């Protein structure tokens, strides 16, 4: 046995993130670690990687007990970790990022030629092609993921921890990554994968360990289980989809007319885009990340300057209108990046909850504290947000629980129009069920929703109409009935609609 973690417990005061967890890993094995947001997955891996010290328990590598005070100690023992948010220097080349900390020297200086040669050899050895001379900032997210894996391989890792490795990848990049993981495992490398994407886990894993509330609820062979059983072990019940009525779209709530957002180098980021969203429908926008979705959302919501064109909300021209005024006219916004746009990490749960509601939740110029706390408490219960208290800082919530708080806050605005950008990014299947149900409920109650998601399964499941964006243009429109993953993928990649 390559790795064993025995009776691992991690307590933060009275709160236990992990309780008596056992976890093992064999040489050449791909072992998935799954569970709801806040189940203790990341804490367990932070302990293994030396970022946290266990309250109690034992870690053994090849039978020898280990005590990791820092990640450097874990790296010396052959453990590498690729974090959910890449830890790369954008201004460095691929080679510089991979060899950093173990740079080949020439006298007192950095031997760039030797570094390039090392990376080229590493790339060939593990079948992960990269251009060592290219700036990392110019690489796609899929290539950046390869750079991160090659970096830990260069450090000598035999155990590689991948935290949500496919969260920002395109469908093609996901397939390439899963193939690469299997190839590396066949060469003797061992993987621990944390992921909420259960079908991907079923496609790549040998074994699956499920956590719930900091405890192990099951360890199963992937070949002997299915997504439904894993979901039940994660949430403790069967999942139920919110029933969808047939769409009955009404009046146009959002109208976008010939919208263009200029880019830095003359090429528009959004190019002559026109579409509408009516009450009682969900319109999905599918596209490979970086094809103008973010700029389109920003232009509609007032966060990005518009070069030309118009945006109408409920019949009113809001082109160039300040963000606050647009929100007052009936727009709510679940942003694609919860940390950059959706929350203040140093503010508490209740403070983050009141954002956007403050003008309504005041009397005589003072915030109504009791009413606000009651409102946020209701969201915590309804969306099953795991938090020590309403006064916990947002930075101490798991990513999925913070996402649920933001979704609850924006849905509670009760606006006629909602932008839902990556609404379930980084959340577990139970949270996804809740969020999808709430979006369908809003649509069934005649709300208009613009759904922007990199998850094709989410687009196909929720959308009444689907628009595909490529290089800043809408290149196709499909009804829910005619849309398939293959047809959307073809359009996303620049193919033509039949």
pLDDT of residue 71: 93
pLDDT of residue 300: 96
pLDDT of residue 214: 92
Q: What percent of the chain has pLDDT over 70?
A: 98
pLDDT of residue 496: 62
pLDDT of residue 366: 78
Mean pLDDT of 107-114: 89
Give the mean pLDDT of the chain.
90
Whether the per-residue pLDDT at 495 is higher than 70: the answer is: no
CA-to-CA dists, residue 87 to 61, 81, 84, 97, 128, angstroms: 25, 10, 9, 9, 18
pLDDT of residue 492: 81
| Per-residue pLDDT reduced to its tens digit, 18-50 | 999 999 999 999 999 998 878 899 899 999 999
368 confidence band (pLDDT: 50, 70, 90): confident
Mean pLDDT of 464-473: 93
pLDDT of residue 45: 94
Mean pLDDT of 57-77: 94
Mean pLDDT of 291-304: 93
CA-to-CA dists, residue 469 to 172, 294, 296, 417, angstroms: 16, 11, 10, 21
Mean pLDDT of 334-341: 88
pLDDT of residue 478: 92
pLDDT of residue 432: 87
| Per-residue pLDDT reduced to its tens digit, 224-240 | 999 889 988 888 877 77
Whether the per-residue pLDDT at 438 is higher than 70: the answer is: yes
pLDDT of residue 237: 79
Question: Rounded to whole angstroms, how far apart are CA atoms 128 and 377?
Answer: 48
pLDDT of residue 203: 92
| Per-residue pLDDT reduced to its tens digit, 442-455 | 999 999 999 999 88
Question: Rounded to whole angstroms, how far apart are CA atoms 311 and 302?
Answer: 10
Q: Domains along the chain?
A: 3-235 (3.40.50.300), 252-492 (3.40.50.300)
pLDDT of residue 242: 67
State the CB neighbour count (10 A cutoff) for residue 466. Answer: 25
Cβ-in-10-Å burial (0-12, 13-18, 19+) of 494 comes to: exposed
Whether the per-residue pLDDT at 498 is higher than 60: the answer is: no
Q: Which DSSP helix (H) or strand (E) runs through 400?
A: helix 399-411
pLDDT of residue 24: 96
| Per-residue pLDDT reduced to its tens digit, 349-367 | 999 998 888 777 777 777 7
| Per-residue pLDDT reduced to its tens digit, 151-160 | 999 999 999 9
């Amino acid at each position: 046995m390559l790795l064993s973690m025995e009776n691992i417990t991690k307590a933060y005061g009275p709160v236990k993130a992990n309780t008596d967890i056992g976890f093992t890993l064999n040489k050449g094995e791909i072992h998935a670690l799954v569970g709801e947001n806040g189940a203790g997955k990341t804490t367990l891996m932070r302990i293994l990687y030396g970022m946290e010290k266990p309250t109690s328990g034992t870690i053994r590598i090849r039978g020898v007990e280990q005590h990791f005070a820092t990640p450097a100690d874990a790296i010396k023992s052959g453990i590498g970790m690729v974090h959910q948010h890449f830890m790369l220097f954008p201004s460095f080349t691929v080679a510089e990022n991979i060899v950093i900390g173990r740079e080949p020297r020439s006298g007192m200086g950095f031997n760039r030629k030797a570094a390039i040669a090392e990376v080229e050899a590493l790339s060939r050895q593990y079948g992960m092609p990269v251009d060592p001379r290219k700036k990392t900032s110019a690489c796609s997210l899929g290539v950046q993921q390869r750079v991160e894996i090659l970096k830990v391989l260069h450090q000598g890792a035999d155990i590689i921890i991948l935290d949500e490795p496919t969260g920002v990848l395109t469908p093609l990049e996901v397939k390439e990554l899963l193939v690469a993981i299997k190839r590396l495992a066949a060469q003797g490398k061992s993987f621990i994968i944390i992921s909420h994407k259960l079908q991907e886990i079923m496609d790549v894993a040998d074994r699956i360990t499920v956590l719930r509330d900091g405890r192990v609820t099951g360890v199963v062979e992937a070949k002997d289980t299915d997504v439904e059983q894993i979901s039940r072990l994660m949430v403790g019940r069967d999942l139920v989809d919110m029933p969808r009525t047939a769409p009955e779209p009404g009046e146009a709530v959002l109208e976008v007319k010939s919208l263009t957002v200029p880019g830095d180098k003359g090429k528009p980021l959004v190019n002559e885009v026109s579409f509408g969203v009516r009450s009682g429908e969900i319109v999905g926008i599918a596209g490979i990340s970086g094809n103008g979705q973010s700029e389109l959302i920003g232009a509609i919501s007032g966060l990005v300057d518009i070069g030309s064109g118009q945006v109408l909300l409920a019949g009113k021209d809001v082109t160039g209108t300040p963000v606050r005024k647009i929100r007052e006219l009936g727009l709510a916004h679940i942003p694609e990046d919860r940390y950059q746009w959706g929350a203040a990490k140093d503010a508490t749960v209740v403070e983050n909850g009141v954002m956007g509601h403050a003008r309504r939740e005041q009397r005589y110029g003072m915030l109504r504290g009791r009413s606000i706390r009651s409102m946020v408490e209701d969201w915590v219960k309804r969306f099953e947000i795991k938090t020590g208290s309403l006064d916990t800082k947002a930075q101490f919530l798991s990513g999925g629980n913070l996402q649920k708080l933001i979704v609850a806050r924006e849905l509670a605005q009760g606006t006629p129009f909602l932008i839902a950008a990556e609404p379930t990014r980084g959340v577990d299947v139970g949270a996804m069920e809740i969020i999808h149900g709430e979006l369908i409920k809003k649509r069934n109650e005649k709300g208009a929703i613009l759904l922007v998601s990199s998850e094709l399964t989410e687009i196909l499941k929720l959308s009444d109409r689907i628009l595909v964006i490529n290089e800043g243009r809408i290149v196709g429109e499909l009804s829910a009935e005619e849309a398939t993953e293959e047809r959307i993928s073809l359009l996303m990649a620049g193919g033509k609609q039949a």
